[in-house]
Amino acid sequence: MNVLHKGILSTILALVLTGCASESPSPSTTSSQSEHEERIQAEVVKIIDGDTISVKINGKKDTVRMLLIDTPETKHPSQPVQPFGPEATAFAKKRLNNKHISLEIGTTKRDKYDRLLAYVYVDGTMYNKKVVAKGLARVGYVYPPNDKYIEQLRGAEEKAQIEHKGIWSIDGYVTEEGFREEVIDQQPQQNDQENNNIGDLPYNPNGKDRDCSHFSTQEVAQQFFTAAGGPEQDKHRLDRDGDGIACESLP
């Protein structure tokens, strides 16, 4: 083979190798595609409580328990409604109800109650982290290998705790095992004033009777409802079905 032919062959080989290299995805692209492929699409059909939702996946209903978080109880058969449980449920209803979401399923896919274990994404944001950052959930039920995002959630929890948001506004309320209602009984008046920001409400919760038409949003109605005694009293009759959520028809 003469020198000319060798040169042509070398040029062709170089072009082929360059083309192959350009068609190979970068590691970051592969990682992004892989992460996207791990998520499945679902539609939220019901909010059960602050950390559990009912969804429809490919037309089939399933129950999702959000990974790594724990919100105060609202429907436990042997426990009373816990402080900030109704707020956590109301927040979930506002952010997730009837929404199209993505689910990143855990390594262990289901718990002992056959609930799907997942990280929930709405509008591209992880809801598990958002509810912790709002001070409406603690980081809990950490069971490797279902702890992929534990550092992110711990960071959000630490910030909420420093800022005394929600559940962290009551000293001693949050523990490694869950929530302590007896702490509330020891200091109800002080915590009612501090946690419900009565001065920021549109009406005095101890004043004349109010109904849902007096409030512009469910969030404001919920704050008023809690300040007025919550589900234990409901003297304004804002919680018609007794689930701890006031004025559910409001936006």
Q: Is the pLDDT of residue 15 over 80?
A: no
pLDDT band at 14 (very low <50, low <70, confident <90, very high): low
**Which residues are identified as catalytic?**
65, 73, 115
| Mean pLDDT for the stretch of residues 109-129 | 98
Angstrom distance (rounded) from CA 113 to CA 239: 29
pLDDT at 1: 53
Domain boundaries, the chain: 3-36, 38-181, 197-251
- Which two three-digit tokens encode residue 211? 């109904």
| Mean pLDDT for the stretch of residues 38-62 | 97
Burial of residue 125, with CB atoms counted within 10 A of its CB: 0-12 exposed, 13-18 middle, 19 or more buried: exposed
Angstrom distance (rounded) from CA 91 to CA 222: 10
Least confident range of 22-26, 72-76, 154-158, 199-203 = 22-26
- The dihedral formed by the CA atoms of 71, 129, 107 and 84, expressed in degrees to the nearest 10: 0
Q: Is the pLDDT of residue 197 over 60?
A: no
Count other C-beta atoms under 10 Å from residue 65's C-beta: 19
Angstrom distance (rounded) from CA 131 to CA 122: 12
Give the residue, 147 or 1, on which the prediction is more confident: 147
Q: Is the pLDDT of residue 12 over 60?
A: no
CATH code matching the domain that covers 38-181, chosen among 2.40.50.90, 3.40.50.300, 3.40.1080.10, 3.40.50.970: 2.40.50.90
